[in-house]
Structure 1
Amino acid sequence: MLKEVRARRAMSRFKWILVLAIAVSGAVHSRTNAEEKLPQFVEDPVVSNNPNQSVPLAAVVTFKANQPVETTITLTEGEHRWEFTYDAARKAEKGLPVIGFRPDRKHELVVSIKNAGGEIASSEPLTFQSPKLPSDPAEFPKIAIATSDSKMAEPGFRLFNPRRRIPRQTQAGNEQEREFGESFGMLLMVDQAGTPVWFYKTDSRIAGFNYMDNGHILYVTADYRLVEIDMLGNEIRSWYASQRPQGKSTATPVETLTFHHDADLLDNGNVLALSSERRKIENYYTSEYEADAPRQDQWVMGDRAVEFTPGGKIVWSWKAFDHLSSRRIGYETFSHYWQRRGFPDTIDWSHANEITKLDDDSVLINFRYLSAVVKVDRKTGEILWIFGEPSGWSKELQSKLIQLQGDARWSWHQHAPTFTSRGTLLLFDNGNYRARPFNEPTSLAKTWSRAVEYELDEKTLTAKQVWTSETADEEKVVTIAMGSASETPEKGNILVGYGAILDPSQVHKVSWKTRSQIGQMTRCREYTHTTPAKIVWDLRLEPTGGNPKIGWNIFGCIPVSSLQP
């Protein structure tokens, strides 16, 4: 009897211990499962220099997590704080790009990961010492901020492309002078204070460029290539004109003579670009100053617009020679533009510098030497209208000319026409020559450049000026080449890139024919869209070095709201 009682007690204790063990085991197992569900760093984050040396103010963060995660990298430096978020498709093991570093400063980074359930884990702070800017005066421009109104200026950044130049005794220049400029390409982004936060260097001068929503940049080179890069400077895609003088490239070939000035990536994935064609024209001009100068057969370069697939197949083409009169010329036709670029004995007729596909499927092309903006029906190739100085057009095109109302003046040798959010036409008016051959040009020192806006009525083919950057007390400058004007997205200000400004202290000493002998500088200036306009941001690229001084200019300047690595 006593043994039975003891046995039952022993069994009862055993059952209790067994239940307790099962409970403890379940709790441990549950806790282990819960811990496994939390995001964790299997390999801790590491920040390292961008392996692509073409973009030094950038870094790469790598780590490994225990599950798919969304990543946020928060960066701080002094009063600056910014962050980037990467979805789970971005593989951190391969490296997450980080940009926005100000030069020669210590930055702190914190990496946070979030899983599908919303649980978050964060790393210990990392530090990154950004490199200094290049000290060689031939490798980086001198940046000066004259005005920066943080309340009225557009927030974010400005992107432009510094181009270097030394004075030349002739417009064509010698081989060394040309090589100095053409072998250097740069894209540079600064903050409101004018501090560089990103720059990219390459070995061919950059003309037009476009910053895309995905953070990539498409640009045009002096050796007739189109290149798409990401913000680490990695080449995503590139194309080249297969008939170019330089010969073959590793890029995708496109059956055309050149790529120049401007190109856009379209929504359908194709590329719209400016190219050229060369024709031999009989009994053509030999001078733009002397109407009675002897005529002769000439190789003449005209513009060609092309749309091509990512694989390089041309699917649309429009040739200026077929739609505009090649006998209507502008000043600088004989400026040796194409001779300097590999086409001997070829003169420059139309000189397009901007192409844009519009929402109605038409195409807007800007012809600098013709001082005309032309709208083209993409389906038929027909010219819909011409906005520009009205003299000398053929009879067939007279009905296409837009009439400028009031006492406003026409733009001359303009750049970067674009339609604003108000539907108006905004452009940069270089104001060069203010005449067309064979009328006497206005003295160089008595011309100046500006941004200007027109209201167009496309039904009545009339226009009126509604805004200009000109003010009574503004320092007037002559931008001899390039330039841009664009509307900022938040403030609605007008950001103006002044291209290649002739040295204001020397401009009175030269003529249109000798202007290449003096130095150049440039500026990016932001104006309020008011009358009169007010300057709220003003950056200048000043000469560097000496004997001779290196001048800096830009093709254009555009606003960038936020960094997208």
Structure 2
Amino acid sequence: MPLCVWSAILTVSTSLQALTIVSPPSFTSAVNAPLAGTLQLTTDQPSRISVSVNEGTNTWTKNFYDYSTVHSMPLLGFKANRTNVITVTVKDRLGNEATAANPLTFITAPLPSDFPTINLLQSNPEKMEPGYTLFRPVNNNDSKGYLTIVNSAAEVVWYSGATSSLDVRQLSNGDLWVPLLTSINEINMLGQTVKTWTLPAGKPYNHESYLTDHGTILYLSDATRVVTSFPTSATITNALTKTTNVWHQPVIELWATNAALANIWQPIDILDPRRISYLTFSSPASAYGVDWMHANAITEDPRDNSLIVSLRHQNAVVKFSRATGQLKWILGTHDNWGPEFQPYLLTPVGEPFEWQYGQHATKITPQGTLLLFDDGNFRGSPFATPPLPDSQNYSRAVEYQIDEERMEVSQVWEYGASPATPIYSVSRGDTEWMNQSGNVLITYADTAYVNNLPCSQYSTNAHMARIQEVTHDAVPEVVFDFAVFDYGNTSSTYKGYACYRANRIRDLYPTKPVTDLSVQYVNSQAQLRFSGDEARLYYISTSTDLVNWTTLGTANSDGEGNFTYLHEQSPDDPFHYYRVLTQ
């Protein structure tokens, strides 16, 4: 999300006094994030900090660009079981430098004995989306999990066992968004809870939750409804029906300021509560009743103020109006939909084309297409097509183009239907479009079969989490691939690992606003200067009325965190405002 900073005049001291570190650096490791900690020191002049970490076999640096005399900042990116020698250098605005006399030592412990086993299978950083991969692998034997971040070599650079949530995302401020049954928590990179939203009574979290860009929280909850004449079998056409409780998921919207209820939508009201799939009876009924809907994803479509919801147990993705709740279309197989729903079913066009089954993670791409994870469960419908056995199945990422005027859908891209080694995830899963590279990150979250064989020859119940990054080409290339699995475990009771989704995050640190932008006018030029992160691009825009903005270009860097931009002006130009944008 872009961050903007208004222009401000910087007053620079002309003092020639040497820069001095008043209180030496100290480092305190984080209790809930063992590979992170807090660095603190003070200087007599406003300065910025540069840190060099020698971890024995490698040295890495981190530069901080805020000028201050009192410094307290998180240090992130350490690896387990290393002796880290930390050297701290400070630099003021005049270029004076001072290095702390005594480096700090931070010895990181080995990863916990029950930490998931991560195996790197493929890595091509030059073709990968920059950044780190965030996910939460869970041990299926004891349900223990860790929030985890790995680098491009699948090395753990951050973890925390401080929460039991399956899902995790990074917020624009760098903190982590962690939903729980009755609350949603914001956790910083030191593993500390900094904010909690308590969910309304009777509206627990079930799947999906995120902050919108208009000050609300969207999530899927749980509810039950009594349905008469509900089918009792997905295989017997003339089986008896019964009155039963049906489990469904309302879409809930809360105000982010106080977690007060803003909106509620009931997809069950616009669909057929008696339509079933093979998934309907694939798991025992819960306290809420038969798992009829199993909604697992919400996507906002700002183009027409609509919501798109993935209904796993309907093998369908539906779109409806935010304002009225009116159904707009249904993406999925046409099997077993009644006459009243025929006008809403999207017609497939073009080849190749394949419907999705048991899908997750619907998202609108920058091209306006719909990307999702097609788990592929059964790849058939009751009374229409026989179920495909798991051992012959596969999961895939698939991208659809939807023409709402013609009510047509075409498949424009997919990966996973016919690779050399098919992977089948029986549940969960994720796809993420990555903006810089155009690659797709795919999470086979609960993999039961690889190449049509069980993950383990010793235990048929052993599953793995498998995460791949592929190029968005007609013939995709795998550029990153790792498995969370203990290949050496020979126990017949071994159950392996699973996760929910994975996200590529730009950095361990948040995108910070520019705080020292200065503007000076010299010879009909506006000279802009500020400090920033060398790893980022900074876009300069200007306005004469603070309403309409024009992007001028990107600022130039001197390689040491100092950025400049020159804007040519004529004497007749009006007064200009400037801002800096980055992401």
Which band: TM-score by shorter chain?
0.7 to 0.9
Structure 1 residues 535 and 40, CA, compared in 2 at 3 Å: closer, same or farther? same
Picking from 326, 336, 341, the partner of 1:392 is: 336
Task: Tell me which structure has the larger Cα radius of gyration.
Answer: 1
User: In structure 1, what is the equivalent of residue 123 of structure 2?
Assistant: 148
Task: Give the distance between the partners of 1:436 and 1:537, measured in 2 at CA.
Answer: 34
Structure 1 residues 485 and 55, CA, compared in 2 at 3 Å: closer, same or farther? same
User: In structure 1, what is the equivalent of residue 171 of structure 2?
Assistant: 212
One-letter code aligned to 2:470: Y
Task: Give the distance between the partners of 1:307 and 1:91, measured in 2 at CA.
Answer: 41
Task: Give the distance between the partners of 1:420 and 1:90, measured in 2 at CA.
Answer: 44
SS at match of 1:103: coil
Q: CA deviation at 1:409?
A: 0.9
User: In structure 2, what is the equivalent of residue 526 of structure 1?
Assistant: 469
Q: CA deviation at 1:291?
A: 3.1
Structure 1 residues 257 and 286, CA, compared in 2 at 3 Å: closer, same or farther? farther
State whether residues 37 and 75 of structure 2, in contact with CA within 8 Å, keep that contact through their aligned partners in structure 1: yes
State whether residues 362 and 371 of structure 2, in contact with CA within 8 Å, keep that contact through their aligned partners in structure 1: yes
Structure 1 residues 185 and 277, CA, compared in 2 at 3 Å: closer, same or farther? same
Task: Give the distance between the partners of 1:217 and 1:165, measured in 2 at CA.
Answer: 23
Answer with 434-443 or 522-531: which moved more.
434-443
> What is the CA deviation profile of residues 42-80 of structure 1, one whole-angstrom value per residue up to 9, with x for unaligned ones?
211111211x3x311111112233355444444454445
Q: CA deviation at 1:278?
A: 0.8
Task: Give the distance between the partners of 1:453 and 1:80, measured in 2 at CA.
Answer: 41
Q: CA deviation at 1:201?
A: 1.2
Q: CA deviation at 1:334?
A: 2.6
Q: CA deviation at 1:366?
A: 1.0
State whether residues 448 and 455 of structure 2, in contact with CA within 8 Å, keep that contact through their aligned partners in structure 1: no
User: In structure 2, what is the equivalent of residue 128 of structure 1?
Assistant: 106
Structure 1 residues 43 and 318, CA, compared in 2 at 3 Å: closer, same or farther? same
One-letter code aligned to 1:152: K
Task: Give the distance between the partners of 2:98 and 2:170, measured in 1 at CA.
Answer: 33
State whether residues 207 and 261 of structure 1, in contact with CA within 8 Å, keep that contact through their aligned partners in structure 2: no
Q: CA deviation at 1:238?
A: 2.5
* Match runs of 1:167-178 below 5 Å: none
Task: Give the distance between the partners of 1:122 and 1:394, measured in 2 at CA.
Answer: 74
SS at match of 1:563: coil
State whether residues 471 and 533 of structure 1, in contact with CA within 8 Å, keep that contact through their aligned partners in structure 2: no
Structure 1 residues 452 and 89, CA, compared in 2 at 3 Å: closer, same or farther? farther
Matched, 1:487 2:433: yes
User: In structure 2, what is the equivalent of residue 474 of structure 1?
Assistant: 420
Q: CA deviation at 1:314?
A: 0.6
> What is the CA deviation profile of residues 94-134 of structure 1, one whole-angstrom value per residue up to 9, with x for unaligned ones?
x4211111111233333344556665544344332222111
Matched, 1:190 2:150: yes
Q: CA deviation at 1:551?
A: 0.7
Picking from 184, 187, 191, the partner of 1:233 is: 191
Between structures 1 and 2, the one with greater helix share: 1
User: In structure 2, what is the equivalent of residue 87 of structure 1?
Assistant: 66
* Match runs of 1:110-509 below 5 Å: 110-114=87-91, 120-124=97-101, 125-135=103-113, 139-166=114-141, 180-181=142-143, 184-202=144-162, 204=164, 206-221=165-180, 223-239=181-197, 252-310=198-256, 311-336=258-283, 339=286, 343=287, 346-360=289-303, 361-407=305-351, 408-439=353-384, 440-470=386-416, 472-504=418-450
Q: CA deviation at 1:255?
A: 3.2
SS at match of 2:502: strand
Structure 1 residues 506 and 354, CA, compared in 2 at 3 Å: closer, same or farther? same
TM-score, structure 1 normalization = 0.80
One-letter code aligned to 1:276: D
User: In structure 2, what is the equivalent of residue 58 of structure 1?
Assistant: 36
Matched, 1:98 2:75: yes
One-letter code aligned to 2:380: A
User: In structure 2, what is the equivalent of residue 44 of structure 1?
Assistant: 24
Structure 1 residues 380 and 46, CA, compared in 2 at 3 Å: closer, same or farther? same
Q: CA deviation at 1:427?
A: 1.2
Q: Which runs of 5+ in 2 are unaligned?
A: 1-13, 511-583
Q: CA deviation at 1:237?
A: 2.1
Q: CA deviation at 1:555?
A: 0.8
> What is the CA deviation profile of residues 212-231 of structure 1, one whole-angstrom value per residue up to 9, with x for unaligned ones?
2211111233x444222111
Picking from 539, 554, 559, the partner of 2:482 is: 539
Between structures 1 and 2, the one with greater strand share: 2
The number of residue pairs the alignment matches comes to: 488
One-letter code aligned to 1:188: T
User: In structure 2, what is the equivalent of residue 108 of structure 1?
Assistant: 85
Structure 1 residues 214 and 378, CA, compared in 2 at 3 Å: closer, same or farther? same
* Root-mean-square deviation over aligned CA pairs: 2.8
Report the identity percentage.
Answer: 29
State whether residues 479 and 502 of structure 1, in contact with CA within 8 Å, keep that contact through their aligned partners in structure 2: yes
State whether residues 217 and 228 of structure 1, in contact with CA within 8 Å, keep that contact through their aligned partners in structure 2: yes
